[in-house]
Structure 1
């Protein structure tokens, strides 16, 4: 039976329901990694809604920092960009790896998963027609939603907001497509900060974001200003991508404005009196909970003596994401598992994604996309 509190929440505007769910979960997390004193941070999260519109947070991230050029490595063992949107999205990738493995292990109907539950959907197509693997997809009627505690700064180039493939994000801008979620040109990195979801395209059909909810600001006092800016960024600059090839498509999510977030997520109003928190919290529903020091890209508490130890590597670094992919490949594909390939080679072998990515970056609004040197993705799993 529905309680009075549940009835009250169900009557709230959608953006407010999203915000309440995210802030409530954040409040339940331990103090470690949260802003202290005059510090502030950014909060981002992904949620899913069931056919009955029940909302659940499945991944969450905080943060405003990234590493400097002198901390970049060729091993994929640090998190280059620890802004909230990227952390939340990488935590989502790990959640989806867990979901795929769960579906594979059950071999049957898995009511707890948001993915279609026929394991044969993501076994390799063994016929000689070169179609590659069949993939899972999100169950009918389920939707993915994004929450960000503040409007990303600046007017950035944009494509449609979708999910699961190379998706960069940052406080400094938002841009989205069937491969891209948002983008970051960070001077200390020297290139656009791009997340790593191409490998999931071997196992999943594209999953598109249905809505984006942004926390309101005291400065942008009218929610219509925020909504108009988000629509301009996400909808009006995607026309060159209208001919993306199947299975990718242009997606235009709904935009909602949430109430002003708690004080520790308020930046623009307090910039002269606050400091940005150096830590990033990453959490997902499958059991991940870490705190990353954004300026080093490694776990909180890393000592100078053991700074390069594997134990300091975050679950969200590319090396660990590659390990998750290869483990899933072995478990799901058996003798057809991927072996002997670098991270870059595996991304390039995902042909549909690779072609869509090239189309995206060649379009008029994104042709100046700054790419990282190829050797930063030439590493292999140990």
Structure 2
């Protein structure tokens, strides 16, 4: 059984140990945290280790996407953590194929394939409900929408993440001093009721302010008989993630009629659309496709699934999380061998991230400037070489215009770098031990697109998921995947 508070405490502690570079300025900047925890059973004991961690709130716009795969498109914490985990898995597979010790894989029955060691599983942690459908949560009638937090007794407000659209030009994020980084605030505010609009960490939708009559309807409704204080009209926390083109749209009505639930959504940009699906949609996809991706599926007998998803203290609804991450994919069937609908256990911790927006607002002092999301994204993973990667606007933190197009400007998590790491794994594998899909007789494989398409079982599973659950999932632009 997974202890949600233990997982949260482990992840927050690992964040404290990271260098200060890329961390938010205490009291002025906030960010989101996500992590992957490896669980390894040893007899009656279970060892828990953070193997990948990410922070971040931004993603780039369409015009900034690169055909060379050298820009990090999506820097939301959940995506950063998952990509860091892929780096970790590539390292463990390399150790496996070269005869070294690894803590994750053992040889499977099929030639060139590997499976998880007995007792090994992975838990996903995120400090806030994922953007998109999982953040469209009813606002409770009580004084607080949060479970009590160890650090402040509860409370948490909306968060909106500015989305980056910089035309592909790198912009160094401010490297602020780590004043109290990783420590909980000493002065705790009373729990406050979450504000009903734009409560997710996505950028707030651009819309006209409600008319006075609508505002009154949203905030005050007279009780039956006209006696007693006014009652607050039912409402939901809102997400800035936009419905994907070609399908249903949000009604944008006051209160609970603002959003339509269960829809695919893309993360918003500042005046520019993005290609990035919401984190709710990506987590739902990983519950069917696994989180290993198409490339590593060449080596794996079975997809890798999270056994649990743990959310930190924030506005939360078990029913909404189940709808967003599980129910939408429950009807997927006829999946190829190695894939299945594998819903994770859904849990919430009572511990709030010290650099959440609500904690940052409480610690904010006059003269610090406005509270804003941190511009940097941090990736750390348990690998021997270059475990830390700090980025801003899709490029390595501090990269200059002159460095764009060179390795010095690339994030270790961009498609090109992960592809090169995978090719290194293939090169280190004895030709006689390669999986059939990568053997010399499998056909010419040269580009990133070629290797993804050659992962036949993964592609068949993807088609089943599209057909049964997500027919409107935007198709990727092939021209952006032809690098090598």
| TM-score normalised by structure 2 residue count | 0.62
Which region of structure 1 is more displaced relative to structure 2, 336-345 or 297-306?
336-345
The separation in 2 between residues aligned to 1:69 and 1:283, in whole angstroms, is 27
Tell me if the contact between 2:9 and 2:351 (Cα under 8 Å) persists in the aligned partners.
no
Deviation of 1:267 (Å): 5.1
Cα–Cα, structure 1 residues 245 and 13, in superposed 2: closer, same or farther, change >3 Å? Answer: closer
1:151 aligns with 2:124: no
Q: Which of 452, 455, 462 is matched with 1:357 structurally?
A: 462
Deviation of 1:70 (Å): 2.8
Tell me if the contact between 1:45 and 1:57 (Cα under 8 Å) persists in the aligned partners.
yes
Cα–Cα, structure 1 residues 153 and 325, in superposed 2: closer, same or farther, change >3 Å? Answer: closer
The separation in 2 between residues aligned to 1:244 and 1:171, in whole angstroms, is 33
- Structure 2 gap segments, 5+ residues each: 136-199, 203-238, 242-263, 283-290, 365-369, 433-438
The separation in 2 between residues aligned to 1:257 and 1:135, in whole angstroms, is 35
Q: Which of 267, 274, 278 is matched with 1:186 structurally?
A: 267
| TM-score normalised by structure 1 residue count | 0.78
1:60 aligns with 2:81: no
1:348 aligns with 2:348: no
Partner of 2:348: 257
Deviation of 1:196 (Å): 7.8
Cα–Cα, structure 1 residues 262 and 191, in superposed 2: closer, same or farther, change >3 Å? Answer: closer
Cα–Cα, structure 1 residues 54 and 334, in superposed 2: closer, same or farther, change >3 Å? Answer: same
The separation in 2 between residues aligned to 1:230 and 1:269, in whole angstroms, is 25
Cα–Cα, structure 1 residues 227 and 196, in superposed 2: closer, same or farther, change >3 Å? Answer: same
Task: Give 1:213-232 correspondences, 5 Å limit.
Answer: 213-217=310-314, 220=315, 225-232=316-323
Tell me if the contact between 1:238 and 1:250 (Cα under 8 Å) persists in the aligned partners.
yes
Tell me if the contact between 1:83 and 1:171 (Cα under 8 Å) persists in the aligned partners.
no
Q: Deviations over 1:206-235 (max 9, x none)?
A: 111100100112xx3xxxx53232122222
1:101 aligns with 2:94: yes
Partner of 2:84: 91
Deviation of 1:189 (Å): 5.0
Task: Give SS of 2:341's match.
Answer: coil
Task: Give SS of 2:424's match.
Answer: helix
- Structure 1 gap segments, 5+ residues each: 1-11, 126-132, 158-169, 175-182
Task: Give 1:230-309 correspondences, 5 Å limit.
Answer: 230-266=321-357, 270=361, 274-287=371-384, 288-293=387-392, 295=393, 297-309=394-406
Partner of 1:199: 295
Task: Give SS of 2:37's match.
Answer: strand
Partner of 1:29: 18
Tell me if the contact between 1:186 and 1:192 (Cα under 8 Å) persists in the aligned partners.
yes
The separation in 1 between residues aligned to 2:359 and 2:475, in whole angstroms, is 30
The separation in 2 between residues aligned to 1:354 and 1:141, in whole angstroms, is 28
Tell me if the contact between 2:335 and 2:460 (Cα under 8 Å) persists in the aligned partners.
no
Partner of 1:49: 39
The separation in 2 between residues aligned to 1:189 and 1:86, in whole angstroms, is 18
Partner of 1:141: 119
Cα–Cα, structure 1 residues 184 and 87, in superposed 2: closer, same or farther, change >3 Å? Answer: farther
Deviation of 1:140 (Å): 1.1
Tell me if the contact between 2:32 and 2:57 (Cα under 8 Å) persists in the aligned partners.
yes
Q: Which of 5, 29, 49 is matched with 1:16 structurally?
A: 5
Tell me if the contact between 2:34 and 2:124 (Cα under 8 Å) persists in the aligned partners.
yes
Task: Give SS of 1:259's match.
Answer: coil
Partner of 1:7: none
Cα–Cα, structure 1 residues 302 and 232, in superposed 2: closer, same or farther, change >3 Å? Answer: same
Partner of 2:223: none
Matched pairs, number: 325
Which structure would you say has the larger Rg?
2
Cα–Cα, structure 1 residues 58 and 305, in superposed 2: closer, same or farther, change >3 Å? Answer: same
Deviation of 1:269 (Å): 9.0
